Amino acid sequence: MRAASRAVVSVALGAIVLFHAALAGATVPMDPQFLPEAGLLFVGVFAGAIALYRVFTRKLSQAMRAGAASLACIAVAFVIAGNFHKPPKPSVLLPAATNSTSLVLGDVLLRVAASDRYVLSVDDKQFLDLDLRRSGLMVSCVVGSQDEAAICISQNTFPFSRIGIRPSKPDGHTLVVQDEGEDVFRICYSEPRSIEVTGQLFERSSAEPALISFQNGIHWSGGGVPPGTVIDLRDQGKGRIDFGRSGSIRVLSPS
C-alpha cells in the first residue's frame, strides 16, 4: 500500500515536472550562456518520461528515483538561471553611415563626404585648413577679433598673435582663442565625424583680406546662411569647400 502511495506521489511530481518543463522556454532566456540550464531541462524532462514509464510498468522504486532526478534537474536549472547569470547588455546603436562628416560652422550644419582633410575658401582663397591625416585634428587659419586679424594658427601652433590674445586647449579635443577673456574662436573635435567651428576668420593671401564669420550663422562678402540651416554637399564629393561671390557654397574638385 505504501508503495502504491509513493507511486501516486511520483506520478504527481512527474506531472508537475512536465508542466514546468513545458514553460521552460518562456522562463529561461534563449541565450548561449543558458545552454547548461537548457541541458538540465532536457535531462529533467527525459527523466520524467522514464519515471512515468516505470510507473506504468509497475517498477515503482525505479519510478521514484527517476522522478526525483527529474525534479532535481529542473530545480537546479531554474536556480542557476535565476542567480548565476548577469542580465544581457543592451545592444548599442551604430551610425547609419560612416561615409560622411558634419562640419558645424556657426550653428550651420554642412554634411560633406568623408575625407582626411578639409580646406575651406572664400572666392577661391583659402582661409581654413582642417587636417585629419595624423592621429588627430591639426588646424591652420588666421583668427579675427573685432574685424581685425588677432592670431595665426599653424598646425595647432601659434607663430603670431596680437597683444591681449590668449589661445588655450581646455581639453584634448578643443582649441579656444580669447580676447580679453572672451571667446573669439572655438573649434571642437569631440566626435570622429563631427567638427564644430565658431569665430571670425581671415584670408591673408590677397591685398584686402576677406573676412568670414562663423558666428550666429555663416556670413561672408558674397552671402550668408542663417543658423540652424542644414546644407548637404555629400553628392559633390571630396574637394575644397568654397564660399563664392554669388552666395553659393560648393565643393571644388582638386585640380
For residue range 171-226, list pLDDT tens digits in order. Answer: 888 999 999 889 999 999 978 889 999 999 998 666 667 789 999 999 998 899 99
DSSP state of 186: E
Helix (H) or strand (E) holding 245: none
* Collapsed DSSP state (helix, strand, coil) of residue 194: strand
Cell 581639453, residue? Answer: 171
Residue 217 has φ and ψ, to the nearest 5°, of 105, -165
The CB density around residue 4, as the number of other CB atoms within 10 Å, is 10
The predicted pLDDT at position 153 comes to 93
The CB density around residue 212, as the number of other CB atoms within 10 Å, is 24
Q: What is the pLDDT of residues 69-87, one digit of tens each?
A: 777 767 776 776 666 666 6
Q: What mean pLDDT is predicted for residues 52-77?
A: 72
The predicted pLDDT at position 91 comes to 52
Q: What mean pLDDT is predicted for residues 15-27?
A: 46
Nearest of 73, 86, 108 to residue 34 by alpha carbon: 86
Taking the CA atoms of residue 199, residue 204, residue 205 and residue 206 in that order, the dihedral angle to the nearest 10 degrees is: 100
Q: Which residue has the higher pLDDT, 93 or 13?
A: 93
User: Would you call 223 exposed, middle or buried from its count of C-beta atoms within 10 A (0-12, 13-18, 19+)?
Assistant: middle
What are 211's three cell numbers? Answer: 573676412
Report whether pLDDT(17) > 50. no
Range of lowest pLDDT (26-30, 58-62, 162-166, 250-254):
26-30
pTM score of the predicted model? 0.62
8 pLDDT band (50/70/90 cuts)? very low
What are 117's three cell numbers? Answer: 582633410
The predicted pLDDT at position 74 comes to 74
Nearest of 243, 240, 197, 199 to residue 221 by alpha carbon: 243
The CB density around residue 121, as the number of other CB atoms within 10 Å, is 20
The predicted pLDDT at position 172 comes to 87
| The most confident of 52-56, 61-65, 99-103, by mean pLDDT | 99-103
Q: Which residue has the higher pLDDT, 176 or 40?
A: 176
Q: What is the pLDDT of residues 89-148, one digit of tens each?
A: 555 555 555 678 999 999 999 999 999 999 999 988 899 999 987 678 999 999 998 888
Question: What are the distances in angstroms from CA 128 to CA 28, 74, 230?
Answer: 59, 69, 20
Sign of CA dihedral 231, 235, 241, 242: negative
Report whether pLDDT(243) > 90. yes
Nearest of 194, 22, 54 to residue 111 by alpha carbon: 194
Q: Domains of the chain: which residue ranges?
A: 2-83, 100-249
